[in-house]
Amino acid sequence: MSARRFPFRTVFEPFIIKSVEPIRMTTRPEREKIMKDARYNLFRVKSQDVLIDLLTDSGTGAMSSEQWAAIMRGDEAYAGSRSFQRFEAAVKEVFGFEHVIPTHQGRAAERILFSVVCKKGDVVPNNTHFDTTRANIEYQGAIAEDLIIPEGLDPQSLYPFKGNMDVERLEALIKRVGAARIPLCMLTITNNSGGGQPVSMENIKAVKTVLEPHGIPLYFDAARFAENAYFIKLREPGYQDRSVKSIVREMMSYADGCTMSAKKDGLVNIGGFLCTNEDRLARQEKDLLILTEGFPTYGGLAGRDLEAIAVGLREILNEDYLKYRIAEARYLGEHLVEIGYPIVQPPGGHAIYIDAKALLPHLRPLQYPGQSLSIELYLEGGIRTVEIGSVMFGKIDPDTGKETPARMELVRLALPRRVHTQSHIDYVLEVARDVYGRKEQLGGYRIVKQPAFLRHFSAEFEPL
Ligand code: F0G
């Protein structure tokens, strides 16, 4: 039954549960010990010690019975496997690009793309670069530039397309550095680092119009492409009666290629790909692929993984699924707001971001308010979230040792795809209500041990 003809208001999970994994219940005293042993870092906690894991929506989804069935058809031939042919056909059908290069996940596609197109001193604009994208650009000695619209930086703005790129700043950048130093321009759909906010078709077209006369290619970081397309259908005039599939094809028609982490909207636990319409580029990328990932018909994945992606890419376009997906995030977001939580508005596609700086004004940024909230949600309810603030992005001056905090102190509650029921979300809300009631008592943290980079994964903390 199509989403439009369904006459009832309740949006329920459009699937039944066929295989289950038990949750091991724990008590608060047990979790206090676990947290202490993990040095107050949730990345160091074992998954069996977590009740509801909202750390990421990446690779944590549930596969469908059709995907598991496809896995049995996996053709593990080294070269020219049937699984690759089915994978390639699915990517071409949904995305429409000429060349499809499989990779083991999104960042591998990024590394190959930027190794081939970037040289030292180049500049790559994006609405907001995801961390691995930025890191892969900087690793080439190039500069990753974020050109998000001002609304995208205002957590309270209800603008419907807060993932849009600032077209005027893009024009100014091209003028300033010259087109020869811009190997490509990216748009991250949806904009993960900016709260999972979508980019409008109008903005995609406007960006393309600016790039075209300069011959600068447009690429999508397409990890959550279907969620972005569904937001266009919901919010952009003229798209209400279009299928998500046709919206995706229109989006892609303005682009010259994409990187993709299939761990998100590919509905799989591992996998990714890189697409381009340019023959010469595809050849160079495949040469590099062979060096580190694998032969171009498997790219570091098993044939069965390619099968699961082929099915997942078609399933993700199911509009009953997308309706439920967006409703789940909105339900969590709206009820958190009802309790009193300041969140990045409006709720995005894959996660809700709590503004911990606004919630815990008694803590200074370098007392890590996001870490504090994240730990309390775990202690109280066994819920694992992730701090996206000064622990993740604080910068330490190598000479003085002085730390500059991040611009925002957020806690992300990411929703794995097709994993949780409504009562799981209701439980999260009940725990959040309890924590909110005593937010003034939440204390800060200090870092006692940390590595030189990507410190959030392994740093050790102590309560102040
Ligand atoms: N691009 C975006 C927008 C992402 O969100 C991610 C991953 C990647 C690229 C990299 O893909 O993990 O397959 O190598 N995001 C995950 C997250 C890790 O938790 O948001 P990958």
**Atom number of ligand 1 nearest to Cα 57:** 19
Residue 6's pLDDT is: 73
> 358: which 2 tokens?
């606004």
Confidence grade of residue 2 (pLDDT, cut at 50, 70, 90): low
Distances from the Cα of 108 to the Cα of 28, 261, 297, 353, 359, angstroms: 40, 9, 15, 27, 37
With contact defined as beta carbons under 8 Å apart, do 346 and 151 qualify?
Answer: no
Find the largest Cα–Cα distance for the chain: 64
Q: Is the pLDDT of residue 36 over 60?
A: yes
Burial 325-349 (b: 16+ CB within 10 A, else e): bbbbbbbbbebbeeeebbbbbbbbb
58 Cα to the center of ligand 1, angstroms: 7
d(CA 208, CA 202): 10
Decide: 197 in ligand 1 pocket, CB within 6 A: no
With contact defined as beta carbons under 8 Å apart, do 384 and 378 qualify?
Answer: yes
**How do the domains of the chain map onto residue ranges?**
28-57+319-463, 65-315
Q: Is the pLDDT of residue 162 over 80?
A: yes
Please tell me if the domain spanning 28-57+319-463 has the same topology as the one spanning 65-315.
no
Decide: 265 in ligand 1 pocket, CB within 6 A: no
- CATH code for residues 65-315: 3.40.640.10
Judged by DSSP in three states, 347 sits in coil
Location of structure tokens 């949806």:
190
Alpha carbon nearest to ligand 1 atom 18, residue: 58
Confidence grade of residue 452 (pLDDT, cut at 50, 70, 90): confident
59 Cα to the center of ligand 1, angstroms: 9
Decide: 105 in ligand 1 pocket, CB within 6 A: yes
d(CA 221, CA 121): 22
Instruction: Give mean pLDDT, residues 155-159.
Output: 94
Burial class of residue 438 (count of CB atoms within 10 Å of its CB; 0-12, 13-18, 19+): exposed
Residue 3's pLDDT is: 55
Q: CA torsion angle for 107, 205, 322, 65 (degrees, to 10)?
A: -50
Residues listed for the chain:
464
Q: What's the whole-number average pLDDT of the chain?
A: 96
Instruction: Give mean pLDDT, residues 98-124.
Output: 98
Residue 393's pLDDT is: 87
Residue 461's pLDDT is: 97
Closest CA to 170 of 190, 151, 149, 191: 149
Q: Is the pLDDT of residue 161 over 60?
A: yes
Q: CA torsion angle for 272, 394, 127, 268 (degrees, to 10)?
A: 20
Q: Which fold has domain 28-57+319-463?
A: Aspartate Aminotransferase, domain 1 (3.90.1150)
Q: Is the pLDDT of residue 352 over 80?
A: yes
Decide: 106 in ligand 1 pocket, CB within 6 A: yes
pLDDT 10s digits, 391-428: 998 888 889 989 999 988 999 999 999 999 999 999 99
The radius of gyration of the chain's CA atoms, rounded to the nearest angstrom, is 22
Q: Is the pLDDT of residue 119 over 80?
A: yes
- For a ligand 1 pocket test, name from 107, 132, 225 the mutation site with the most ligand atoms within 8 angstroms of its C-beta: 132
Q: Is the pLDDT of residue 199 over 50?
A: yes
Q: Is the pLDDT of residue 115 over 80?
A: yes
Closest CA to 184 of 226, 215, 152: 215
pLDDT 10s digits, 361-375: 999 999 999 999 999
Decide: 129 in ligand 1 pocket, CB within 6 A: no
Judged by DSSP in three states, 343 sits in strand
Check: pTM over 0.85? Answer yes or no: yes
Residue 1's pLDDT is: 46
Closest CA to 94 of 285, 251, 228, 238: 251
pLDDT 10s digits, 230-270: 999 999 999 999 999 999 999 999 999 999 999 999 999 99
Q: CA torsion angle for 446, 448, 452, 458 (degrees, to 10)?
A: -90
d(CA 300, CA 312): 18
186 Cα to the center of ligand 1, angstroms: 15
Closest CA to 206 of 180, 160, 171, 231: 171
Residue 454's pLDDT is: 82
With contact defined as beta carbons under 8 Å apart, do 437 and 424 qualify?
Answer: no
pLDDT 10s digits, 4-17: 667 788 889 999 99
Question: In the 8-state DSSP scheme, what is residue 236?
Answer: S
